[in-house]
Structure 1
Amino acid sequence: MRTFAEILREVFSDRDLTPEQVPELDLYMDQVLTLLSEGLSDTKRHPDEKLITKTMINNYSKEKLISPIQGKKYSHQHIMQILCIYQMKQTLALADVKQLTGRDDVDFETCWRAYLDIKQRVRDRIPEQLASLDANLEDPGERLALCLALSAISTYMRRLCETIIDDTMPQA
């Protein structure tokens, strides 16, 4: 069984899809799915997990979480929007994600770059803080207590996002 410190190192060493890895050329759906599947593979819990599907992207378009598609191709900006949606849908309700991404007044590449910078700063600080929570993962009680604490931290972060959205965005 791995230690908490080993798990921390693994979780915080994921790699990100950068704007440079997203082609400036418009892509068809299958090309988008391949790009995202390969670029986000470090975030998979299980090797056969589908991170994003054609149906998901079509639903994002139908629900206006992304800008309208021109023909059958997705632009660099669309892919950057999809990356933002993918990241936030892990935690936030789609209605909240829509308020942030379903817009034409945002440069999603610039936002993604800023996000990557902030995420790197978090990667540099948070693992050290979390390491102090070290628990004996073989003990069911300590494992549960640690997961409860980590879940509470996640809830604080979700609530922080929701409050930022509620305080700064007009309600639809």
Structure 2
Amino acid sequence: MENLNKLIDQLNLNKNITLEDIPNIDLYMDQVIQLFENKYASSLRNSDDKVLTKTMINNYAKGKLFVPIKNKKYSKEHLILISLIYQLKGALSINDIKATLDGVNKHILSEEVELDQFYESYLHLNEKNVEEFKENVPLHASNVIEEIKSLKEVDHEYFEKVLLITSFVHMSNLYRRLAEKLVDEIINED
């Protein structure tokens, strides 16, 4: 269990781009990439992975995942949306992300939304989710330890890890599938 706590610490779960991290001036693409690299590089699984690339941003723009840019500069609203896309892409398809954020983009264009307040709510929920996650991991671990006792003459340490992996992936899939159902509702409402 102590090992799980070390692994959780290595996840850098509280790394998020906050409103304070976003400058009050528009940024060029290279500056956007640097901001994201500075914030999220430590949370990458492999050192040769990229947090964000020009190609990714261009694909998000072509796919209309965020409002059009002006003069090759990205506003605070763009950075908030790119941050949301960055978080969502781990579980949802680009089409699902587009469907999810389409209404947000429409509200931005019609100036009907305080995007800062919405993003603060998102960050606040992230903090709560991290705390809940940290509380639930030991529960999963104790369930696995209880199950592993029934296995005879096996490498308990190895099979404990395998059962933990399958349990975590299963929970992840359950949440992803529910998120997809909510995306479907958004699509059907349009």
Q: Taking structure 2 as the reference length, what is the TM-score of the superposition? A: 0.81
CA deviations on 1:1-55 (whole Å, 9 max, x unpaired) are x712221233364321101110121111111111111122232112332111000
Change (3 A) 1:39 1:9: closer
- Secondary structure in 2 matching 1:3: helix
Runs of 4+ in 1 over 6 A off after TM superposition: none
- For residue 74 of structure 2, what is the amino acid of its counterpart? Y
Which among 125, 133, 146 is matched to residue 118 of structure 1?
125
Pair 1:73 & 2:73 matched:
yes
More helix by share: 2
Identity of aligned residues (%): 30
Aligned CA-pair RMSD: 2.2
Change (3 A) 1:64 1:13: closer
Alignment length (residue pairs): 171
| Structure 2, unaligned runs of 5 or more | 146-154
Identify which of structures 1 and 2 has the higher relative contact order when contacts are C-alpha pairs closer than 8 Å and 6+ apart.
Answer: 1
Which among 159, 165, 182 is matched to residue 147 of structure 1?
165
Q: Say which one has the larger Rg.
A: 2
How many Å separate the matches in 2 of 1:80 and 1:119? 14
How many Å separate the matches in 1 of 2:66 and 2:4? 38
| Structure 1, unaligned runs of 5 or more | none
Change (3 A) 1:142 1:154: same
Q: Taking structure 1 as the reference length, what is the TM-score of the superposition? A: 0.88
CA deviations on 1:68-107 (whole Å, 9 max, x unpaired) are 1112111111111100100000100111100122322154
